[in-house]
């Protein structure tokens, strides 16, 4: 079978293992079905903005053209650094979008993908899956995105806020008692968290002390001993045996391909 369409990040279902679907325009390709098979992905050379559809020679902010990258709220710097959200200053690029996405409850979490990390998201467990976490734990629910970023800034003084993607793709990490680590972090950060609660109100921050670990299994038959990154800009035609999927990466016997990175690229997929 052969399908042509534009890539976007893979859709997922939390099952055992995670079930992956690769969007190609309106088509959703069930990728778990192809593990163990030879697959082919041929970039046609066409790249279209995932927001406006404009043809572009280069993709920005995971699938956008340059004008959309400069104007859309979902491409603003505060998406990468939520503590810099400027909605309250009246300078949000689109206040309606901010109401729907930023001025909503967010979770602060701990995850174990290449070791323990702290992160924030509205969308759990999909965020954990996208990062390739093997286990994760929501530790706090807060009233809006900026506050979640401020909590994250406090906690990342004690644990990392980054994933080592190469280490994540080499196998499952050693288990971590995330609940115990949560309690330690709450104790270590007590004064700073109390100051935030005094500023934003006690009701704006809810500690989730009764939450339990979410364990995540990925459809991988073989992890690479050496992680080699594949890139459509350098190699338009990629073919190999699909050995697994983790995070937003296809693990092939010839290297790993970050599907989300190439959102907006038109490809011919064949299996």
Tally of domains within the chain: 2
Q: Is residue 78 in a domain?
A: no
Residue 80 lies in a domain: no
Question: Is the domain of 224 the same as that of 206?
Answer: no
**Would 89 be classed as within a structural domain?**
no
Residue 223 has pLDDT above 90, yes or no: yes
**pLDDT digits over 134-179, tens only?**
999 999 999 999 999 999 999 999 999 999 999 999 999 999 999 9
Domain membership of residue 76 (yes or no) is: no
Question: Can you give the three-state secondary structure of the chain, one letter per residue?
Answer: CEEEEEECCCEEECCCCCEEEEEECCEEEEHHHHCCCEEEEEEEEEEECCCCCCECCCCECCCECHHHHHHCHHHCHHHHCHHHCCHHHCCCCCHHHHHHHCCCCEEEEEEECCCEEEEEECCCCHHHHHCCCCEEEEEEEECCHHHHHHHHHHHCCCCECCCCHHHHCCCCCCCCCHHHHHHHHHHHCHHHHHHHHHHHCHHHEEECCCCCCEECCCCECCCCCCCCECCCCCCCEEEEEEEEEECCEEEECCEEEECHHHCCEEEEEEC
The pLDDT tens digits for 45-88 are: 999 999 999 999 999 999 999 999 999 999 999 999 999 999 99
Residue 6 has a pLDDT of 98
When pLDDT is cut at 50, 70 and 90, the band that residue 228 belongs to is very high
Tens of pLDDT, residue by residue over 83-111, are: 999 999 999 999 999 999 999 999 999 99
Show the domain range for 25: 2-68+219-270
Share of the chain above pLDDT 70, in %: 100
Per-residue pLDDT of 10-55, as tens digits, reads 999 999 999 999 999 999 999 999 999 999 999 999 999 999 999 9
Residue 85 lies in a domain: no
Mean pLDDT of the chain: 97
Is residue 20 in some structural domain? yes
Note the pLDDT of residue 1. 82
Q: Are residues 109 and 211 in the same domain?
A: yes
259 domain residue, yes or no: yes
The pLDDT score that the predictor gives to residue 3 is 97
């Amino acid at each position: 079978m052969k399908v042509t369409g534009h890539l976007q990040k893979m859709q997922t279902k939390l099952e055992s293992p995670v079930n992956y679907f690769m969007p190609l325009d309106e088509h959703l390709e069930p990728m778990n079905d192809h593990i163990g098979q030879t697959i082919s992905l041929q970039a046609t050379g066409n790249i279209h903005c995932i927001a406006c559809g404009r043809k572009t020679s280069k993709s920005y902010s995971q699938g956008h053209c340059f004008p959309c990258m400069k104007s859309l709220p979902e491409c603003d710097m505060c998406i990468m650094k939520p503590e810099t959200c400027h909605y309250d200053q009246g300078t949000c690029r689109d206040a309606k979008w901010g109401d729907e996405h930023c001025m909503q409850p967010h979770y602060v979490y701990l995850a174990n993908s290449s070791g323990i990390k702290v992160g924030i998201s509205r969308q759990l467990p999909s965020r954990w899956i996208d990062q390739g976490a093997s286990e994760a734990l929501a530790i706090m629910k807060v009233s809006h995105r900026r506050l979640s970023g401020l909590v994250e800034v406090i906690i990342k003084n004690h644990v990392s806020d980054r994933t080592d993607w190469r280490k994540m793709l080499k196998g499952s990490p050693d288990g971590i008692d995330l609940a115990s680590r949560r309690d330690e972090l709450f104790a270590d950060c007590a004064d700073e968290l109390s100051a935030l609660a005094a500023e934003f109100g006690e009701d704006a921050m809810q500690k989730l002390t009764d939450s339990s670990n979410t364990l995540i299994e990925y459809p991988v038959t073989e992890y690479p001993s050496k992680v080699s990154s594949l890139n459509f800009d350098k190699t338009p035609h990629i073919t190999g045996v699909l050995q697994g999927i983790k995070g937003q990466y296809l693990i092939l016997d010839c290297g790993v391909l970050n599907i989300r990175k190439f959102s907006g690229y038109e490809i011919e997929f064949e299996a």
